[in-house]
Amino acid sequence: MPDTHDRGDTRGKAPADSGGGRTDLRADCANCFGLCCVALPFAASADFAISKDAGRPCPNLRDDFRCGIHSRLRDSGFPGCTVYDCFGAGQKVSQVTFGRSWRDDPRTAARMFEVFPVVRHLHELLWYLDEAMSLPVTRPIHAELRGAFEETERLTMGTPDDLLGVDVAAHREKVNVLLLRTSDLVRASTGGRAADRRGADLIGARLRKADLRGANLRGAYLIGADLREADLRGADLIGADLRGADLGGADLTGSVFLTQAQVNAARGDDATKLPPALTRPAHWSGPAARPAAAAGRAVARRPRPRRGGG
Mean pLDDT of 133-155: 97
Alpha-carbon span 258 to 275, nearest angstrom: 8
Instruction: Give the chain's mean pLDDT.
Output: 87
Domain 193-310 has CATH 1.10.357: no
Q: Is the pLDDT of residue 218 over 70?
A: yes
Q: How far apart are CA 209 and CA 162, in angstroms?
A: 48
Using the CB atoms, write b or e for 294-308: b if 16+ within 10 Å. Answer: ebbeebbeeeeeeeb
The three-state secondary structure class of 211 is strand
Cα–Cα distance between 190 and 293 in angstroms, integer?
29
Name which residue leads in pLDDT, 21 or 184: 184
Domain ranges of the chain: 23-188, 193-310
Report how far residue 157's alpha carbon sits from residue 175's, in angstroms, rounded to the nearest whole number. 18
3-state secondary structure of 51: coil
pLDDT tens-place string over residues 117-132: 999 999 999 999 999 9
Residue 6 has pLDDT above 50, yes or no: no
Distances (CA, A) of 269 to 163, 172, 231, 238, 244: 41, 34, 15, 22, 13
Rg of the chain, C-alpha, whole Å: 19
pLDDT tens per residue across span 46-63: 899 999 999 999 999 999
Give tens-digit pLDDT for 160-173. Answer: 999 999 999 999 99
Look up the pTM and report it: 0.84
For residue 6, the 8-state DSSP code is S
